[in-house]
Amino acid sequence: MLEFHSKKPPLYDPAHVQWMRDELVYVGFEEMLEPEIVEKRLNQKDDKVKLVFINSVCGCAAGSARPGVSLALQNTVIPDELLTSFAGQDRDAVDYIRNIFLKDFPPSSPSIALLRNGAVLYIMHRHQIEGRTAEQIAQDLIQVFNKYCSRTGPSIPREKYDKLVHAKACGQTIPLNDGK
């Protein structure tokens, strides 16, 4: 049974990063805000392929990663479940993901992983995202989706995707959380 009692506050003002969350929810992601939700969603032995996106305020990397993963989800084959937690925001949830499910990999945000039955099938680290376009990231993910996934895509209709506005900002310009 999971016992987790930490409650780390977000590092950044939640109102200033909400649009970075909304971008992923718009294309079909479910947020995992607490370790208990992470445990429930990722520790299932249900043979489903789960995409786990660790979101980030970093404008350089996450500014390409979010659009890249969104574009990849327009593929005809996609993961069964789309899940996300936000580094620096959902701090306990991200710690739990890293310590339990990604323990064999160095911490990285943003990062994109595919898991099945709690085991990592694929992971894309920040260093594999930085300096790359959304299209390049999407192409890599599409190859992985075609290899491991079977759910029919896209995650949202093309007409809805075409209305998506991608969140881009430098993390240095986002105010820190003042605890109020």
DSSP 100: I
Q: Give the residue from 125, 21, 120, 28 showing the smallest Cα distance to 74.
A: 28
- Angstrom distance (rounded) from CA 26 to CA 40: 22
**Residue 51, SS3?**
strand
Active site residues: 58, 60
- Angstrom distance (rounded) from CA 111 to CA 56: 9
